[in-house]
Amino acid sequence: MARIIGGIGTSHVPTIGLAYDKGKQNEPAWAPMFKGYEPVAQWLAEQKPDVMVMFYNDHANSFFFDCYPTFALGVSPNHEFADEGAGKRPLPDIAGHPDLAIHIVEQLVADEFDLTVFQDRPLDHGVNSPLSLMLPHQGGWPLSLVPLEVNVLQYPLPTANRCYRLGQALRRAIESFEQDLKVVVVGTGGLSHQVHGERSGFNNTEWDMEFLDLIVNDPERLARMKHVDYVRLGGAESVETIMWLAMRGALGQKVRELHRSYYLATSTAMAVTIYEGEVA
């Protein structure tokens, strides 16, 4: 039986990947952020998961606003990374896990979550910016990836509660897969930031800290919040953090936070966390 060994919450800021590719790991402005990912890389190396299921959002690179799905799951045997306008990042493609992905699709649809299913659509910085910091990839990645896209761009968005329940349904789907697999679930996005309008550059560290506490201790409260609450507290783009709730829902009622890093040096508050949840 497949089992979830833990969860990771992470920002997916494009400048993370850019700084990595330019070798800025030891520069004073970037070193604290990179240091924050080292325990995550170490935990993954120790746990050796077979598959990573990642909740992410596409930034109009593979899905555009004429047809932008609420939830979409990739079933390809291989995933490439998108050229977002400045050339592709120097990263190898990552293997998918079609058997598990198709099983998840079937189970989630049976659980009344209507999914779009995609193949051969490249994954943008919503996936690759944190992925490159968490895992070694010279010569290939050490695990396979099941990408699960969430619409946090084009209204109407799925509610925070819907995302939380999606994570719970994902847990049931994974645990019903007969193959013995170790699975880690990742939720991406945020934290507080707004990149347009009168509040461009807005951050709220106090709310970010509260959010990081609540995701551990009271995710139901976060699930009850409206989109307007997330926007008011964290800025328009911070609504991305509903994808953390999808990850949190997959971990069970109680979790233990193993690591938390928070760094605010640009327009986006960058965070990465590790959680271990209920034993299946």
Q: Are 110 and 17 in contact (CB under 8 A)?
A: no
Distance CA 37, CA 23 (A): 15
**CA-based torsion, 247, 250, 254, 257: positive or negative:** negative
Q: Which of 193, 196, 227, 259 is catalytic?
A: 193
Distance CA 268, CA 265 (A): 8
Tell me whether residue 193 is one of the annotated catalytic residues: yes
| Residue 71 neighbours by CB under 8 Å, 6+ apart | 113, 114, 115, 116, 148, 149, 150, 151, 158, 166
Tell me whether residue 97 is one of the annotated catalytic residues: no
Q: Which of 12, 79, 103, 125 is catalytic?
A: 125
Distance CA 203, CA 208 (A): 9
Distance CA 250, CA 174 (A): 9
Nearest to 222 by CA among 170, 193, 194, 187: 187
Distance CA 129, CA 139 (A): 18
Active site residues: 125, 193
